[in-house]
């Protein structure tokens, strides 16, 4: 019964003490949120730029299918950023954790590019060994 009274919006105010109300208000309206948001946004931006440097460098150096393989993560990032931007314009509540979505792309991109570079190196090594034996 007490739980029902606490959960009813009209009755919850008198049941909470002044200290609890003040604590709830400070959690909801903390003025230092913008500082943490800025730190998170700068961290995500720097990690994303650093992660995007790998496919950009590969695009400049690789040829053929390897070049297309290096362009794939950048294409995915462009599409995903477009989706996030359009969603945020339509509704401010959508993609509230966009920074973590972009950070996730950066981490997956690192794994993908390392795997791609390793596979490319294996194929080049095999081709080189084959040309030596022929």
Dist CA 132 CA 38 (whole Å): 55
The number of CA neighbours under 13 Å toward the Cβ of 60 is 5
- Which structure tokens are listed for 117? 């570079």
Mean pLDDT, to the nearest integer, of 101-125? Answer: 95
d(CA 109, CA 55): 9
Task: Tell me what pLDDT residue 99 has.
Answer: 82
- Comparing C-alpha atoms, which of 97, 99, 51, 43 is closest to residue 74? 51
Lowest-pLDDT range, 10-14, 31-35, 82-86, 122-126?
10-14
pLDDT confidence tier of residue 113, bands split at 50, 70 and 90: very high
Write out pLDDT tens, residues 5-62.
444 444 444 444 554 554 445 445 556 788 888 888 888 889 889 999 999 999 999 9
Q: Is 4 exposed, middle or buried (0-12, 13-18, 19+ CB in 10 A)?
A: exposed
Q: What is the pTM of this model?
A: 0.67
Structural tokens at position 30: 């903390």
């Amino acid at each position: 019964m007490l739980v029902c009274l606490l959960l009813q919006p009209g009755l919850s105010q008198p049941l909470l003490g002044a200290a609890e109300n003040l604590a709830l208000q400070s959690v909801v309206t903390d003025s230092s949120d913008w500082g943490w948001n800025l730190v998170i946004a700068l961290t995500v931006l720097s990690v994303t730029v650093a992660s995007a440097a790998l496919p950009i460098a590969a695009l400049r150096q690789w040829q053929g299918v390897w070049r297309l393989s290096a362009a794939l993560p950048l294409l995915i990032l462009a599409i995903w950023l477009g989706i996030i931007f359009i969603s945020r314009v339509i509704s401010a509540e959508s993609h509230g954790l966009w920074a973590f979505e972009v950070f996730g792309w950066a981490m997956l991109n690192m794994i993908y590019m390392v795997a791609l570079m390793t596979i490319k190196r294996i194929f080049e090594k095999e081709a080189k060994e084959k040309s030596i034996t022929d």
